[in-house]
Homo-oligomer: A and B are copies of this chain.
């Protein structure tokens, strides 16, 4: 097997667990100096099939695969679910080992944000739309931790799910603007059979909420069909989207639900020259906040 011959120090069944940022950095530097490409999948753990699809893609495109599990305090607001966010490290580690990744990075908060830490990255207007309006500081926290992880790991490619669409726009903006030498690869949203986008936060849902949550994909699909069929105005489609979601009694509130320019994240009134548009929603069901989106091809 060529992989074994090429990297004799790396057996097929070994996965390195690293907790110290400096050691992570040294390890990756050694791989890069040997000319190996590194694929990186940053996660907050509680891994589902969406995460695993990113890992498989990373494995297929790189010599070395690194995954991180870090529930990043910087991207949670004071009234958000940082404390209750699901933490199932043992379960996650087994899944990653089964997929045969090379390195799992699980840093301590105290090493990621030591006393005196005070540097933040702001990716500008794309951070302030959509979820940014409802989660102030969230994307600043995301941009900052992702920059740190990319600097520690120097990946050739980093993999993100399209479910967090705005996050991918922020990270692309940030890496491009700061000349970070990593290709950002955005992978399709993975859905349950009934259409619900996989998310670690789905664990929060009661059985009733879980069933009700399918309204998001249904309502967005109706918009998507309408956009592709033509003949219905954008403002009519938006109205229908909100009305269909609102009909579901277990939805407590709608943060946003509309149609956007996928590059600027600005709400659109007509599709104009756009080849693609973004249908995106964020709702609350009790204490749980759910987001989802579809990219609709108009050509």
A residues within 8 Å of B by Cβ? 21, 25, 29, 32-33, 35, 116-126, 143-144, 147-148, 151-152, 154, 173-174, 177-181
Give the docked Cα–Cα distance between A178 and B145 (Å): 8
Q: Which secondary structure characterizes the binding site on chain A? A: helix
Cβ-closest chain B residue relative to A35: B33
Give the docked Cα–Cα distance between A116 and B118 (Å): 26
Which residues of B lie under 8 Å from residue A151 when comparing CB positions? 178-181
Give the docked Cα–Cα distance between A126 and B118 (Å): 9
Give the docked Cα–Cα distance between A85 and B149 (Å): 37
Interface-centre pick from A119, A121, A148 (highest chain B CB count, 10 A): A119
- A147 lies within 8 A of B178 (CB): yes
Which residues of B lie under 8 Å from residue A177 when comparing CB positions? 117-119, 148
Give the docked Cα–Cα distance between A32 and B143 (Å): 26
Give the docked Cα–Cα distance between A6 and B185 (Å): 38
Copies in the complex: 2
Which residues of B lie under 8 Å from residue A154 when comparing CB positions? 181
- A179 lies within 8 A of B121 (CB): no
Partner of A179, one of B21, B124, B178: B21
Partner of A173, one of B118, B124, B125, B173: B118
Partner of A124, one of B35, B120, B174: B120
- Shortest distance in angstroms between A20's beta carbon and chain B's nearest beta carbon? 12
Give the docked Cα–Cα distance between A29 and B180 (Å): 12
- A120 lies within 8 A of B122 (CB): yes
Which residues of B lie under 8 Å from residue A35 when comparing CB positions? 33
Which residues of B lie under 8 Å from residue A178 when comparing CB positions? 119, 121, 144, 147-148, 151
Cβ-closest chain B residue relative to A140: B122
Which residues of B lie under 8 Å from residue A116 when comparing CB positions? 173
- Shortest distance in angstroms between A137's beta carbon and chain B's nearest beta carbon? 12
Which residues of B lie under 8 Å from residue A173 when comparing CB positions? 116, 118-119
Cβ-closest chain B residue relative to A32: B33
- Shortest distance in angstroms between A147's beta carbon and chain B's nearest beta carbon? 6
Interface-centre pick from A124, A179, A180, A181 (highest chain B CB count, 10 A): A179
